[in-house]
Amino acid sequence: MSNGIAYPVFRTADSAVALRMARQLLAVGDRRRAQVSVDVELCTVGEVMRIRKALPDSWFRKEDIAGWVREPSDPTGLHDGVHADELFSDPDFLFPHLPLWASMLYQPVGSVEEEFAALVGPNIGEIYWDSLVWPDVPDRGLHHETDHARVSLLLNSRTTELDERADDHTVLVHVRRSNRNGSEQMHASWPAEQISQSVIGPPQE
C-alpha cells in the first residue's frame, strides 16, 4: 500500500489567481477521469445558512470527535453528514454544533470551482481534484502516476489538515511518496515547471 505526499508550488492572496494557477496545473495531467471535491469550514449560523442556500446539493457535517464519543448514537446525523435540504435551520439547534463543514464530493471538473471559490470568503476551505494521471517523463526517470496524482487549492490556509488560518491561498501538487530521498520532490517539481512554478516549501502528508 502506498501513500501520497503534497508539495506547495504557488501562493497568493488572490483566490481567483490561485484557482487559475490550479487549473493550469490540472491541465498538465490526464483529466479524463478527474473529479473535483470542495470543503469549507463554517463558524457562524449565518455562514451555514448562506452556504446552504448557495450550494443546495452540499452536505453538512460536524468533526467534533469528542462529541461523537459522548453521543455514539449521533441523534443529529451531523457526524455522518446531513444534506442541505434536511439540515435544520433553527439557530438554537445549529449554534451548539459549530463549526460545521460543508462539502460537495466527486463533482465534474469545472462544475463548481469558480462559484465555490467566490463563496468561501474568509473561511478556511479546499478545492481538491483527484483521479488524475501524471504522465511518464523519461528524461527525468519519472513513471506515470495514477493513485496519488492530485491537485489541491487551500483557501485561507497553508496546511492540508486545514487546521491553521492564513491570509493567503496555496496550490499543491500531490504525488506518490517514495522511499528514495528526494524522488517525490522531483516528481512534484515537474508538473510545477510546466506552468513556470517550482516547489516553494516542505512537503505535507
Could you tell me the pLDDT band of residue 136, with boundaries at 50, 70 and 90? Answer: confident
For residue 105, give Cα distances in angstroms to 16, 59, 76, 98, 123.
21, 9, 21, 21, 18
Q: Which amino acid is at 83?
A: H
Say whether 9 sits in a helix, a strand or coil. Answer: strand
- pLDDT, position 1: 56
Read off the C-alpha cell for 179. 522511499
Query: What is the per-residue pLDDT across 23-63, written as a single tens digit (0 to 9) for each?
Result: 999 999 999 999 999 999 999 999 999 999 999 999 999 98
- On whether the CB atoms of residues 172 and 152 are closer than 8 A, the answer is yes
| pLDDT, average across residues 127-145 | 86
| pLDDT, average across residues 159-177 | 95
Query: By mean pLDDT, which of 110-119, 165-174, 181-190 is the weakest?
Result: 181-190
Query: What is the per-residue pLDDT across 67-114, written as a single tens digit (0 to 9) for each?
Result: 555 666 777 889 889 999 999 999 999 999 999 999 999 999 999 999
pLDDT cut 90: percent of the chain above it: 75
- On whether the CB atoms of residues 21 and 41 are closer than 8 A, the answer is no
Q: Provide the strand spans (E) within the chain.
A: 4-12, 35-42, 59-61, 82-83, 100-108, 125-130, 150-157, 165-176
Give the predicted TM-score (pTM) of the model: 0.93
Q: Rounded CA gap, 138 and 71, in Å? A: 54
Mean pLDDT of the chain: 91
- pLDDT, position 139: 84
Say whether 33 sits in a helix, a strand or coil. Answer: coil
Could you tell me the pLDDT band of residue 2, with boundaries at 50, 70 and 90? Answer: confident
- pLDDT, position 178: 75
pLDDT cut 70: percent of the chain above it: 94
Query: By mean pLDDT, which of 86-100, 132-146, 173-187 is the weakest?
Result: 173-187
Higher-scoring residue by pLDDT: 2, 119: 119
Higher-scoring residue by pLDDT: 101, 141: 101
Is residue 121 over pLDDT 90?
yes
Q: Which amino acid is at 175?
A: V
Could you tell me the pLDDT band of residue 165, with boundaries at 50, 70 and 90? Answer: very high
- On whether the CB atoms of residues 151 and 174 are closer than 8 A, the answer is yes
